[in-house]
Structure 1
């Protein structure tokens, strides 16, 4: 054995005992780390599963709530459309009552009793008309838009509002539809076979107006305000089939009685050369010039009083 071999044997024999202990601790540490890693992976996996289950439950609850709200909104729209139909029916009944009243007035009844009865009925008709007008304060009427089969009045209303600088969604519109009797349809020669104008050969080719009922009155007011600013608004860029471009007019929706009063007042104002006659919140106003008084017109009797400026008629400032 050489001296080098002896030296190596001595170096091995002289290794301290605590070195073996150090190796065992390192092994234990590695094992412990491995256990912790496995535990961490299991906890992470379980937590991920629980979070995913909770998210699925929340999504289901949200979808159920959304479906319920949508159903309620749809029912509300249907109810409001039914309410509008009832109002139109009341207007028709009111006209029928007026006709019957005219016939009754021709009969040989006591003058005093007839006068009192007519006054009472007239007052009731006026109150009914005012209530009907209040129910229309969220509505506008749109004139000049050609009518096509299969059209969506709601889509037309949203597109028109966008052209007037207002962004609307379907939930902002309670009801949008054409009003008046539907006219017969004829083809217009447009290349698109699905586009057919609604025209009545026995009547002037004036399309039916669209009435729009808004969920909030502020939307109606904003739309009318923008329409007054953009008086040249036309049917171009409304996504309609090919047609002759026409000017679009927007007005407050009036009851049948107020429409008659407004029409007669406009005709007389033109004859008398009054410059201004308009409606605001369902009420009719007239003004002779920029510096003259503003007069309210509530009945057909007021028309003659206003435009002849009788002393007993007080102006509305």
Structure 2
């Protein structure tokens, strides 16, 4: 048998010298179905396969001496060290990526924040401008409203005040106010009222009196010690306010006092010096101030008469003139103001 060809049994895949199967001539270098010995598949350690080319069938022997020297210089890399190297490389790459990403996000967020701040500043400036405009308009409206209230509602407010004053005056229609009657310590106002009525010739029983009391603040001639109040001297006695059961009794008391105008306290308060006593109907605080103002104007302009009747205030220049009723301070300006201007 020639060394170029080898007889191989394709059916049974055994190499035999003689086989009953049809014979096939296969070239060694071109047939992949050739079964080789294990020594042919794995070359020995001292054999280096050729890198390929035209001399594919050429094999080279290693230089055992040179390989021994190079083997000492070779650094072997284990699987763990390779993993550590890869892990460190991946960590460095991830760190750089995160730094770049965070930096980009921070720059983007900062730019957005600056834009929003600029927009917010512009909005605030616009809002402040609008608020200033609104405040100016509100101030103008308030001025107009105040002027409108003062002009249109002043009469309504004055009407309400007048009605309240009339109601308060109606509540004290049965009251008398006695001024100038000397005041003593531990006095009996009911007894003083009965004595005064008897002096005026008015029949008055204590059952006709609802209440009698001194009103107002004590006014002394000079500073005094509170612990020695009994030794102080009053500038003037406080007013004695008497409330009667019937209005007719009050009117009778007033008529008797006006008939005997200018009577004094003699026979009523014996221990005190004699003083002139005045009996008037009781007025509200508003009417009392208004009556005082009317009397001052009458004194200034030398009008002869100023009086009250049923809580109403009247003035008259002389007997030839008619009486004028004073409702409020505007009436005083209207009645006395024009006269004072004309007299000048």
Place the TM-score, normalised by the shorter chain, in its bin: 0.5 to 0.7
CA contact (8 A) 1:173 1:213 kept: yes
Quick check: 1:298 aligned with 2:335? Answer: no
Distance of aligned partners of 1:175 and 1:112 in 2 relative to their CA distance in 1, 3 Å threshold: same
How large is the Cα RMSD of the aligned pairs?
2.5
CA contact (8 A) 1:147 1:197 kept: no
Where in structure 1 are there 5+ consecutive unaligned residues?
1-106, 187-194, 311-317
Aligned-partner SS, 1:175: strand
2:283 aligned partner = 254
CA contact (8 A) 2:177 2:239 kept: yes
Distance apart, 1:152 and its partner CA: 0.9
Distance apart, 1:207 and its partner CA: 1.1
Quick check: 1:168 aligned with 2:168? Answer: no
Distance apart, 1:198 and its partner CA: 7.2
1:37 aligned partner = none
CA contact (8 A) 2:219 2:236 kept: no
1:177 aligned partner = 213
Trace 1:1-317 onto structure 2 (pairs within 5 A).
Answer: 110-182=146-218, 196=230, 199=233, 205-238=235-268, 240-308=269-337
Q: Tell me, in whole angstroms, the C-alpha distance in 2 between the residues paired with 1:219 and 1:208.
A: 23
Where in structure 2 are there 5+ consecutive unaligned residues?
1-141, 223-228, 340-344
Distance apart, 1:182 and its partner CA: 4.6
Which one has a bigger Cα radius of gyration? 2
Distance apart, 1:180 and its partner CA: 1.1
CA contact (8 A) 1:286 1:294 kept: yes
Query: Which structure is richer in relative contact order (CA contacts within 8 A, separation 6 or more)?
Result: 1
Aligned-partner SS, 1:285: strand
Task: Using structure 1 for the length normalisation, give the TM-score.
Answer: 0.55
CA contact (8 A) 2:173 2:310 kept: yes
CA contact (8 A) 2:180 2:278 kept: yes
Q: Tell me, in whole angstroms, the C-alpha distance in 2 between the residues paired with 1:198 and 1:145.
A: 18
CA contact (8 A) 2:218 2:237 kept: no
Q: Tell me, in whole angstroms, the C-alpha distance in 2 between the residues paired with 1:198 and 1:233.
A: 27
Aligned-partner SS, 1:110: helix
More helix by share: 1
Q: Tell me, in whole angstroms, the C-alpha distance in 2 between the residues paired with 1:152 and 1:227.
A: 21
Deviations 1:84-115 (A, max 9, x none): xxxxxxxxxxxxxxxxxxxxxxx966311344
Q: Tell me, in whole angstroms, the C-alpha distance in 2 between the residues paired with 1:198 and 1:121.
A: 45
Q: Which range moves more in the overlay, 111-120 or 278-287?
A: 111-120
Aligned length: 191
Q: Which range moves more in the overlay, 299-308 or 155-164?
A: 299-308
